[in-house]
């Protein structure tokens, strides 16, 4: 594994009591790296809040780098010394080695799709001239760096299929450079777009230009992610420096625009995002050459709900929205009569959440969530039901994209025990045919997935998936890994994972709790886990753990919790609130300082739609009440905890994990280890090479072997 070179010597580890009641999970006492405390205090609405580890926010300072190296010098030898780690890594490598495909994109009669032969660090992009034609390599990211850390981000073929726009990420950063490749020759065009992240380019109908959303440039030549994006147009074959400026937001400090072009090429659609429930849609007419020919029209400017542009047909915009419909509906907006009282319900709101919609060949394909699993229905443009898409089980289906006149589309299906397969849908007939399905190097028939429902603290009924051995005994002795997320309107659905399969083979069980904050039951479910109601998310997760223990699936000494990003916040928050409930914790790349997550050094102010802001007094009180960094208590016995982050994470910056680890290590009241694992040449997770993922999970699972006494 590529690791930071150890500059300081490994710190000593002292033996501790052999009494199991007194002994830490490691059987050792740790001499943690020194984390100096400074006298820094912030005042929020009259409340003095110490921030003794503020210095760790300067991630590039020599002092912080020494501290990082010392943390790795402690955690890495410990993890590598666990005998099970090498066995776990070997099995993980073996089971990761199977062929994988992603959903094809069809443009100009050509089929573009990703394929991984098993252990390739990055999937390779192929193109075929027909559905069953012989594919050829169009772009192999593995050739771009020796360690596999330059990754293909997004790719968008031109409408005629002749040019591929694609983005690259170097070392895990969210920043993208966009390139253009001639599909016939495989050669790149000279122009490169910079200062983009979280956004694709939008081709004009003539395949000669793209619209894109980029950040301003700083004097040092880097992008300024703390500012708002602006829309530009690039014409192929012209200097990027001369790109035409198209649009910027001038009347609001945090709304960001993203461009889309209607399939007929007559409209540039500007999607404005200011949070998951604060969105707008503007547009400009385009001329035959793809250039703007009219002024900006503010079609939806209320910023009071979700508004997602789906398609335009004959000057009618089809928009998926949660306005007056928490579970979402599809409306048709005639641009000649755009007032809200003239909108036509095409797919009215139902009791199930409408998550995704596409329109192909005068058919509407709609993806609903029913108790957190996918149901896909097809209807006419008038909303009349035609057929349901046949899915293999109660899992996750994604895809169903394509040009508005496409007669075929592709989708993926997966569940906890079924790897991602790719199917083709004949839009007119509803016939589903398998396009690609992997052959696993493991038999998953020994395991089953069940869905249960439990009550949270306030009586809310919450679903949870549990995957386990079919001959499982409810005796409380099974190591169980409980996973959650609970935020940003993101549903957590069944999906295959090689690390989870390895965990099951190790004798464990795996649970996924569909807690509030996600979109499993629409906007009401999401909003019930945001801002002043964020504690509901933690209560739901704690209730899931208590239910699993009470039902005999596991017990506290055998129960581990894991979450990433917003899920890292979840794990750290419940770890603080109920440290006696869990046997181990794995908070990964978490948002952990809730009072400062939105500072310029974090570039995360738009998360305030879920979290709120410490500038607002009522939201400050809610944030301060659960902020993991601020809820650590001196002398508390915290369970064995492995905090993981990456030094190039520019989404959830790593100082969150640094400050929280320093506080937790200083406060730890027993011998249970509090360790920090910092990956290099990696970011928040996207584009992480396979070898690095295997090393990461081998460390985490080995830590659980020791912490849960699975040896």
Question: How many C-beta atoms surround the C-beta of residue 525 within 10 A?
Answer: 24
The 3-state DSSP class for residue 394 equals: coil
* Per-residue pLDDT, 683: 65
CATH number of the domain where residue 354 is located: 2.130.10.120
Answer whether residue 45 is part of any domain: no
Closest alpha carbon to 280 in 258, 247, 248, 253: 258
Domain boundary among 440, 466, 484: 440
E strand intervals along 129-262: 136-139, 150-157, 163-170, 176-182, 193-196, 202-203, 209-214, 230-235, 244-248, 256-261
Closest alpha carbon to 530 in 591, 488, 577: 488
Q: Are residues 460 and 604 in the same domain?
A: yes
Answer whether residue 321 is part of any domain: yes
Domain boundary among 382, 406, 440: 440
Q: How many CA atoms lie within 13 A of 142 on its CB side?
A: 17
φ, ψ dihedrals at 625, nearest 5° = -70, -25
Q: Are residues 485 and 567 in the same domain?
A: yes
Q: Are residues 702 and 588 in the same domain?
A: yes
Q: Are residues 452 and 387 in the same domain?
A: no
Q: Are residues 449 and 344 in the same domain?
A: no
Q: Are residues 571 and 646 in the same domain?
A: yes
* Per-residue pLDDT, 601: 61
CATH number of the domain where residue 639 is located: 3.40.50.1820
Answer whether residue 642 is part of any domain: yes
Q: Are 628 and 657 in contact (CB under 8 A)?
A: no
**DSSP 8-state assignment for residue 243:** P
Answer whether residue 110 is part of any domain: no
CA distance 630 to 651: 21
Radius of gyration from C-alpha coordinates of the chain: 26
Q: Are residues 485 and 385 in the same domain?
A: no
Q: Are residues 490 and 607 in the same domain?
A: yes
Answer whether residue 678 is part of any domain: yes
Q: Are residues 405 and 488 in the same domain?
A: no
Answer whether residue 397 is part of any domain: yes
* Per-residue pLDDT, 3: 28
Per run of 10 residues, the mean pLDDT along the chain (length 711 residues) is: 27 27 46 96 98 96 96 97 98 98 98 97 97 97 94 97 97 92 98 95 98 91 85 98 97 94 98 93 97 96 97 98 98 98 98 98 98 98 98 97 97 98 98 97 97 98 98 96 97 98 98 98 97 98 98 98 98 98 98 93 79 97 98 98 90 95 98 94 76 96 98 81
* Per-residue pLDDT, 19: 30
Closest alpha carbon to 438 in 416, 421, 423: 421
Of 565, 602, 608, 627, catalytic:
565
Q: Are residues 428 and 376 in the same domain?
A: yes
Q: Are residues 489 and 620 in the same domain?
A: yes
Answer whether residue 562 is part of any domain: yes
Domain boundary among 420, 440, 460: 440
CA 495 distance to own-chain centroid = 13
Q: Are 104 and 127 in contact (CB under 8 A)?
A: no
Element (H, E) at 504: helix 498-505
Active site residue 565: yes
* Per-residue pLDDT, 11: 26
* Per-residue pLDDT, 261: 98
pTM here is: 0.93
First CA to last CA distance, the chain? 24
Query: How many structural domains is the chain composed of?
Result: 2
Answer whether residue 614 is part of any domain: yes
Residue 325 domain boundaries: 310-440
Closest alpha carbon to 11 in 35, 31, 34, 28: 31
Q: Are residues 384 and 487 in the same domain?
A: no
Element (H, E) at 589: none
């Amino acid at each position: 594994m590529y690791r930071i070179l150890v500059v300081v010597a490994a710190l000593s580890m002292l033996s501790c009591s052999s009494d199991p009641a007194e002994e830490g999970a490691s059987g050792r006492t740790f001499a943690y790296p020194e984390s100096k405390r400074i006298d820094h205090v912030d005042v929020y609405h009259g409340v003095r809040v110490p921030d003794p580890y503020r210095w760790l926010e300067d991630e590039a300072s020599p002092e912080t780098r020494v501290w990082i190296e010392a943390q790795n010098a402690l955690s890495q030898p410990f993890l590598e010394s666990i005998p099970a780690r090498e066995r776990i890594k070997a099995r993980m490598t073996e089971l990761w080695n199977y062929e994988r495909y992603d959903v094809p994109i069809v443009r100009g009669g050509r089929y573009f799709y990703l394929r991984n032969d098993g252990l390739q660090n990055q999937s390779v992009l192929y193109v075929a001239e027909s559905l069953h034609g012989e594919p050829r390599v169009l772009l192999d990211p593995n050739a771009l760096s020796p360690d596999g850390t330059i990754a293909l981000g997004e790719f968008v073929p031109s409408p005629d299929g002749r040019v591929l726009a694609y983005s690259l990420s170097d070392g895990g950063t969210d920043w993208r450079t966009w390139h253009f490749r001639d599909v016939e020759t495989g050669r790149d065009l000279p122009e490169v777009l910079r200062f983009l992240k979280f956004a694709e380019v939008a081709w004009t109908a003539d395949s000669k230009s793209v619209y894109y959303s980029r950040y301003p440039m700083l004097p040092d030549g880097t992008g300024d992610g703390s500012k708002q994006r602006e829309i530009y147009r690039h014409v192929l074959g012209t200097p990027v420096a001369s790109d035409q400026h198209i649009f910027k937001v001038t009347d609001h400090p945090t709304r960001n625009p993203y461009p889309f072009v209607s399939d007929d090429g007559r409209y540039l659609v500007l999607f404005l995002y200011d949070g998951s429930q604060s969105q707008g849609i503007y547009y400009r007419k385009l001329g035959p050459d793809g250039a703007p020919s009219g002024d900006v029209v503010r079609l939806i400017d209320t910023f009071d709900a979700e508004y997602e542009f789906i398609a335009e047909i004959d000057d009618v915009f089809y928009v998926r929205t949660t306005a007056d419909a928490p579970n979402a509906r599809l409306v048709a907006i005639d641009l000649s009569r755009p007032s809200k009282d003239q909108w036509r319900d095409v797919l009215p709101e139902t009791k199930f959440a409408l998550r995704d919609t596409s329109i192909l060949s005068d058919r509407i394909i709609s993806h609903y969530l029913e108790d957190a699993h996918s149901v896909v229905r097809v209807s006419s443009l008038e909303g009349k039901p035609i057929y349901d898409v046949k899915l293999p089980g109660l899992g996750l289906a994604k895809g169903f994209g394509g040009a508005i006149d496409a007669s075929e589309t592709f989708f993926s299906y997966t569940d906890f025990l079924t790897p991602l397969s790719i199917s083709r849908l004949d839009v007119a007939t509803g016939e589903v045919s398998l396009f690609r399905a992997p052959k696993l190097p493991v038999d998953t028939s020994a395991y089953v997935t069940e869905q249960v429902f439990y009550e949270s603290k306030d009586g809310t009924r919450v679903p949870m998936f549990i995957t386990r051995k079919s001959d499982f005994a409810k005796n409380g002795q099974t190591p169980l890994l409980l996973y959650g997320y609970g935020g940003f309107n993101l549903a957590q659905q069944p999906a295959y994972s090689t690390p989870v399969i390895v965990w099951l083979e190790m004798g464990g069980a795996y649970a996924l709790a569909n807690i509030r904050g996600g979109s499993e039951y629409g906007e009401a479910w999401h909003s019930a886990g945001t801002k002043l109601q964020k504690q509901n998310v933690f209560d739901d997760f704690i209730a899931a753990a208590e239910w699993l223990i009470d039902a005999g699936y596991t017990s506290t000494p055998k129960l581990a919790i894991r979450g990433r990003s917003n899920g890292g916040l979840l794990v750290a928050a419940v770890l603080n609130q109920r440290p006696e409930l869990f046997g181990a914790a794995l908070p990964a790349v978490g948002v952990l300082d809730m009072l400062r997550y939105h500072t310029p050094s974090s570039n995360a102010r738009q998360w305030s739609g879920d979290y709120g802001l410490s500038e607002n007094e009522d939201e400050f009180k809610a944030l301060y009440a659960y902020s993991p960094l601020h809820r650590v208590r001196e002398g508390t016995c915290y369970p064995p905890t492995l905090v993981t982050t990456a030094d190039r994470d520019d989404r959830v910056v790593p100082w969150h994990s640094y400050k929280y680890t320093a506080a937790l290590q200083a406060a730890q009241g027993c011998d249970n280890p509090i360790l920090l694992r910092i990956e290099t040449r990696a970011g928040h997770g996207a584009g992480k090479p396979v070898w690095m993922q295997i090393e990461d999970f081998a460390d985490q699972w080995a830590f659980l072997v020791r912490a849960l006494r699975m040896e």
